Amino acid sequence: MPRPRLRTVTLDEVKITRDGDYAIFRYVDPSMGGGMDLKVGPRVKTMTFDELVELHNDIVRERLALAAHYKHEAIEIVGGPQIEYSEQCCQWVPRGDVLRCIVTWRDGEPAIEIDDTELKLREFGEMLSTHEGWGMRVVFVPEGELQKTPKIKVSTGKRERSDGGTRSGQ
């Protein structure tokens, strides 16, 4: 199923609840995805549902306008930490768009080492959530080549056999 696309909504397309400073939007149509949690601040308590929907739609329109003109240039942090712990988010966050990391093992489960920090898969997943809605490419390289961008050979998914034939790849 294709990923839901960001779009404006009407009041009958969402269920809105309030939680502290947040307006929680849950889309009625499951094909639109789960919803959106907006930190509004204390004024959320006095805003009408119509005002909250308009705020939601203003944010959607702003995001769509930015996306229409966005030209991505990935930032790779070198000479300093690639990740940092955010007290505000209570989790690790990337400082750039490129992560050089090692797949490792900790406490009986896979882990990801970035700089000198080992993250359990759950912690790594939480860090990836800071890029929700984005895509990513994972390129595996030998540990000693983390600083290099490898040549990437595009393939159909079939691996060549030593006798020159092909077989379905893994």
Any domain includes 156: no
What is the C-alpha to C-alpha distance for residues 123 and 41, in angstroms, rounded to an integer?
27
Whether residues 20 and 57 share a domain: the answer is yes
Any domain includes 149: no
Q: pTM for the full model?
A: 0.59
Whether residues 97 and 119 share a domain: the answer is yes
Which residues touch 92 (CB under 8 Å, ≥6 apart)? Answer: 83, 84, 85, 86, 117, 119, 123, 126, 127
Under the banding of pLDDT at 50, 70 and 90, the label for residue 165 is: low
List pLDDT tens digits, range 60-86.
Answer: 999 889 888 889 899 999 999 999 999
Beta bridge partner(s), residue 117 = 114
Whether residues 52 and 22 share a domain: the answer is yes
Strand 101-106: give its sheet, edge to edge: 101-106, 109-114, 117-120
Whether residues 88 and 64 share a domain: the answer is no
**Structural domain span for residue 43:** 11-69
Any domain includes 161: no
Any domain includes 160: no
Beta bridge partner(s), residue 159 = 167
**Number of structural domains, the chain?**
2
pLDDT the model gives residue 161: 56
Any domain includes 99: yes
Q: Helices (DSSP H) in 39-139: which residue ranges? A: 49-69, 121-128
Left, alpha or beta for 71 (phi > 0: left; psi -120 to 50: alpha)? beta
List pLDDT tens digits, range 89-144.
Answer: 889 999 999 999 999 998 899 999 999 999 999 999 999 988 877 889 999 999 99
List pLDDT tens digits, range 36-64.
Answer: 888 889 999 999 999 999 999 999 999 88
Any domain includes 28: yes
pLDDT the model gives residue 170: 46
pLDDT the model gives residue 130: 85
Whether residues 91 and 64 share a domain: the answer is no
pLDDT the model gives residue 133: 75
Any domain includes 61: yes
pLDDT the model gives residue 33: 80
Cα 41 to Cα 15, 83, 91: the distances in Å are 19, 28, 22
Whether residues 65 and 91 share a domain: the answer is no
Whether residues 56 and 107 share a domain: the answer is no
Any domain includes 165: no
Under the banding of pLDDT at 50, 70 and 90, the label for residue 18 is: very high
